[in-house]
Amino acid sequence: MKFRHFALGAAAAVLAGATTLTAVPVQAQDTIYVPLLTYRTGPFANSGIPIADGMHDYLRMLNERDGGIGGARIVVEECETGYDTKKGIECYESTKGKGPVVYNPYSTGITLQMIPKATADKIPVLSMAYGLSASAKGNIFPWIFNPPATYWDGASVFIRHVAEQSGGLDKLKGKKIGLIHLDAPFGKEPIALLEALGKKYGFELKLYPVAASDMQNQGSVWLNIRRDRPDWIYNQGWGAMNPTAVKEAAKNNFPMERLVGVWWAGGDDDARAGGDAAKGYKSLNFHAAGTNFPVIQDIQKHVVDKGLSKAPKEKVGENLYNRGVYNSMLIAEAVRTAQKITGKKAINSEDMRKGLEALDITPARLKEMGMDGFAAPVKLSCDDHNGHNKVYVAQWDGTKWVKGSEWMDPMKDDVMPLIDTAAADYAKSNNWPARSEACQKGS
Amino acid sequence: MHSLYMVLIDPFVQMVSAPDLFLQTIWEGLVAGVLYALIALGFVLIFKASGVFNFAQGMMVVFAGLTLIAFQDLGVPAPLALILAVGVMYLMAVTIERTVLRPLVNQPDIILFMATFGITYILIGVGEMIFGGEPKDVNTKAFMLPQGSLEIPAFGGFVQLQKIDIAAAIIAALMIGALAFFFQKTRIGRALRAVADSHKAALSVGISLNQIWVIVWFAAGIVALVAGIMWGARSNVSFALQVVALKALPVLILGGFTSIPGAIIGGLIIGIGEKIGEFYWGPLMGGGIESWLAYLIALGFLLFRPQGLFGEKIIERI
């Protein structure tokens, strides 16, 4: 009996000790708390793992190399969502009391749920190139940021690419363009824009939804594609859907150079799955892949080589790993900007919003960060929380992603009116409060 | 009027006007159906022996496939990796029998059913810890599985048969045949059927319930391994595959939970039915209907045969 009590006591002590050791400090002086909503498990883990690694490793590198950002160490806490909206909101609720400066939901479904919550709680949401396209309107969504481009920007760049390859926008008339997409909010996001562009330029849009339960069972979808014979296909896929789509395209002899994925369908594993036949597969991108950049080499030196990364060494520099690095760079630069504006080291979420609105990553700053040629400049403002920045088409050469086009501007003339309308509709239908936050001078 | 034409006439016009595509659809459905049948068989085996719907069967497919690939990644030659993976499935069967089934004997079926939920989540957690979350490719060359496709001219068009699909259909059919023979014609098979009919009667004639449970869980593990290899060779093995495996549910509703022929016929009906439905009627409803169409087909059958196609008709005096 005594032993039983002793064992229970010991177990309780160990548990209490473990909790103390792993607990995240609540906004202590000179620390900045950044929760990362990630998914290393579940059907979307193949896409989620490299991004989580890249995000973690960049912030860890800043801690190791520079002692944090502007003298404040970054405290990172990952919360596993499994790409499940319910779990994502649980993560939000369980961490928001710890003084987070920003949330990265990493799921359009979670972002949609988080928009009203984070707005009420006054915590910025950085849904980097995902989420609600309309949230680019800073005058309506002061707490939501989605740089460097919206899904509508992406889809318009795809159409621009098709037009360039076909000999001009006028050549789009009569073409058949397919959209194979995950049957979820993320997958459906570009439909509105593609329908509008279809009406304007005279191409026919064919939709091929893939249910989450059938991501690895796409036989019927590709039969439909074989029947419809679309000239080009845009792939708004995620997780296990992407490698299967590439494999099916190869099996069905669909010309790979006419299959273009959104930036989330550009994982190395996505393309690799198709073997030699996947050569030529394209994906939109807004940063480079590879390790040939000082920033990635610093991560290797200060994090990976010291055994502080969860990423296997050979995965460092892959496309989605670099996506995570890019995402964390945006966080870090917004923190730096907020520190400059407020003069504080340990900024809070309201300061972070100001930092995000004043974000201005110039070519000179990119060079300073070891990202020359890695990404295009990004500038946000009080009104524009996206930037609608340039995007390029990357192409799989059989072993790695290479640049397949020049940087292209989105078709802003077509995208912006839709964003204005969608944002106004959202505000109207959700009884959305008018913006009360003042804009910073010059932002 | 136009809508009625599109629903009731146009799909059949399409079938006649492009018969090559119709044949292709049937073929795709056949391959999917055989694989569904194989997965459903895993459920049937366990249900027959213990009256438990094993929710973990889908996860067993993923776990078995990932185990095999992990051994290969360690440099183990394919035949040995296969034997080791079978060994792991045996160990799993013994562990489940000792730690889950035996302590819960005589508990209501719903308790055992809930226990299989627990097994599922343990397998997910342990699997992700050991193998990681990334999808893994089956080394088809090492297993001498064919690659490429055959294009057979038909009706002015062509029907494309992936060689891996042909192999999957043949292997799944052989596997189903072997299991059917084993459980119908051998001593163990007869013991299994006795257990399925009455646990108490089986015990009274000296049949070891524990042994039978290990055997059926092991057999279900082997079925899961084969399903994992074949489905994995078509796409890859990832944790998303467990959801595909749940496609066996409508197969079971249709075929009956206790019938091996039911699993086979049910698998084929569901496989072919959902592909035809998605291809010819899906575009009318915005596509993506196959995820629920399978259940609609199964429930439609149930209206006429509540016990499923081959399930036992149970009449109870009240």
All structural domains of chain A, each given as residue ranges with its CATH number in brackets, are 25-149+290-390+420-429 (3.40.50.2300), 151-286+393-415 (3.40.50.2300)
C-beta atoms of B278 and A208 within 8 A:
no
C-beta atoms of A208 and B287 within 8 A:
yes
- The two structure tokens encoding residue A254: 């669909």
C-beta atoms of B133 and A252 within 8 A:
no
Residue in B closest to A227 by C-alpha: B21
Mean pLDDT of A350-362: 97
Mean pLDDT score across all residues of chain A: 92
Mean pLDDT of A191-200: 96
What CA–CA distance (Å, rounded) separates A156 from A412? Answer: 8
Give the torsion sign (CA, B106, B107, B108, B109): negative
Chain B residues near residue A314 by CB distance under 8 angstroms: none
Mean pLDDT of A268-291: 93
- The two structure tokens encoding residue B182: 């084993």
Mean pLDDT of A359-379: 96
Cis peptide before A377 (omega within 30 of 0): no
Give the torsion sign (CA, A68, A72, A77, A81): negative
- The two structure tokens encoding residue A205: 């849009």
Minimal CA separation from A254 to chain B, in Å: 13
- The two structure tokens encoding residue A148: 């460097």
How much of chain A exceeds pLDDT 90, in percent? 84
* pLDDT confidence band for A19 (50 / 70 / 90): very low
**DSSP secondary structure string for all residues of chain B:** -HHHHHHHTHHHHHHHH-HHHHHHHHHHHHHHHHHHHHHHHHHHHHHHHHS---TTHHHHHHHHHHHHHHHHHTT--HHHHHHHHHHHHHHHHHHHIIIIITTTTTS-HHHHHHHHHHHHHHHHHHHHHHH-SS-B---TTTTT---SEEEEEETTEEEEEEHHHHHHHHHHHHHHHHHHHHHHHSHHHHHHHHHHH-HHHHHHTT--HHHHHHHHHHHHHHHHHHHHHHHHHHS-B-TTHHHHHTTHHHHHHHH-TT-HHHHHHHHHHHHHHHHHIIIIIGGGGTS--HHHHHHHHHHHHHHH-TT-SSS-------
Question: Is the CB of B157 inside 8 Å of chain A's CB atoms?
Answer: no
Residues 86-125 of B with CB under 8 A from A: 124
Minimal CA separation from A39 to chain B, in Å: 9
C-beta atoms of A273 and B137 within 8 A:
yes
> Which of B238, B251, B281 to probe by mutation at the A interface, max A CB count within 10 Å?
B238
Mean pLDDT of A153-182: 97
Q: What is the pLDDT of residue A4?
A: 45
Q: What is the pLDDT of residue B66?
A: 96
pLDDT digits (tens, 9 = 90+) for A247-257: 999 988 899 99
- The 3-state DSSP class for residue A312 equals coil
Minimal CA separation from B128 to chain A, in Å: 7
Q: Is the pLDDT of residue A28 over 60?
A: no
Residue in A closest to B15 by C-alpha: A227
Residues paired with A283 in a beta bridge: A261, A394
C-beta atoms of A227 and B28 within 8 A:
no
What CA–CA distance (Å, rounded) separates A48 from A264? Answer: 10
Chain A residues near residue B18 by CB distance under 8 angstroms: 227
C-beta atoms of A223 and B238 within 8 A:
no
What CA–CA distance (Å, rounded) separates B243 from A212? Answer: 9
C-beta atoms of B134 and A269 within 8 A:
yes
What CA–CA distance (Å, rounded) separates B5 from B213? Answer: 54
Q: Is the pLDDT of residue A126 over 50?
A: yes
Residue in B closest to A188 by C-alpha: B286
Chain A residues near residue B134 by CB distance under 8 angstroms: 45-46, 49, 269
A vs B, Cβ pairs < 8 A, gives 117
Q: What is the pLDDT of residue A237?
A: 95
Q: Is the pLDDT of residue A23 over 50?
A: no
Q: Given the structure tokens 């296997």, which residue do they identify?
A: A312
Minimal CA separation from A224 to chain B, in Å: 6
Q: What is the pLDDT of residue B106?
A: 75
Query: Predicted ipTM?
Result: 0.81
Instruction: Confirm whether pTM is higher than 0.90.
Output: no
pLDDT digits (tens, 9 = 90+) for A374-405: 999 999 999 999 999 999 999 999 999 999 99
Residue in A closest to B241 by C-alpha: A216
C-beta atoms of B291 and A43 within 8 A:
no
C-beta atoms of A223 and B25 within 8 A:
yes
Minimal CA separation from A58 to chain B, in Å: 21
- The two structure tokens encoding residue A210: 């893939």
Q: What is the pLDDT of residue A2?
A: 42
Q: What is the pLDDT of residue B232?
A: 87
C-beta atoms of A207 and B287 within 8 A:
yes
What CA–CA distance (Å, rounded) separates B307 from B301? Answer: 10
Question: Is the CB of A336 inside 8 Å of chain B's CB atoms?
Answer: no
Residue in B closest to A43 by C-alpha: B240
Question: Is the CB of A78 inside 8 Å of chain B's CB atoms?
Answer: no
Question: Is the CB of B17 inside 8 Å of chain A's CB atoms?
Answer: no
pLDDT digits (tens, 9 = 90+) for A35-45: 999 999 888 88
Q: Is the pLDDT of residue A431 over 90?
A: yes
Minimal CA separation from A334 to chain B, in Å: 31
Cα–Cα distances in angstroms (integers) from residue A127 to residues A85, A111, A141, B37, B197, in the given order: 14, 7, 12, 42, 57
Minimal CA separation from B124 to chain A, in Å: 8
Minimal CA separation from B210 to chain A, in Å: 32
Chain B residues near residue A210 by CB distance under 8 angstroms: 288
For the beta carbon of residue A12, count every other beta carbon within 10 angstroms: 10
- Give pLDDT tens digits along chain B (318 positions): 788 899 899 999 999 999 999 999 999 999 999 989 988 988 988 888 777 889 999 999 999 999 999 999 999 999 999 999 999 999 999 999 999 988 887 788 889 899 999 999 999 989 988 998 878 888 888 888 888 888 899 888 889 898 988 998 899 889 888 888 887 888 888 888 788 777 778 888 888 888 888 999 999 999 999 999 988 888 889 888 888 777 888 998 888 888 888 888 999 999 999 999 999 999 898 888 888 899 998 888 888 888 777 766 666 666
C-beta atoms of B128 and A40 within 8 A:
yes
Q: Is the pLDDT of residue A5 over 60?
A: no
Contacts of A233 (CB under 8 A, 6+ apart): A177, A178, A179, A180, A208, A225, A249, A254, A258, A259, A260
C-beta atoms of B240 and A216 within 8 A:
yes
Q: What is the pLDDT of residue B314?
A: 65
Q: Is the pLDDT of residue A443 over 70?
A: no
Q: What is the pLDDT of residue A10?
A: 45
C-beta atoms of B241 and A221 within 8 A:
no
Question: Is the CB of B286 inside 8 Å of chain A's CB atoms?
Answer: yes
Mean pLDDT of A227-235: 96
Q: What is the pLDDT of residue B231?
A: 86
State the pairing for strand pair A392-396/A282-285: antiparallel
Chain B residues near residue A244 by CB distance under 8 angstroms: 235-236
SS3 readout for B181-250? HHHHHCHHHHHHHHHHHCHHHHHHCCCCHHHHHHHHHHHHHHHHHHHHHHHHHHCCECCCHHHHHCCHHH
> Which of B22, B27, B134, B140 to probe by mutation at the A interface, max A CB count within 10 Å?
B134
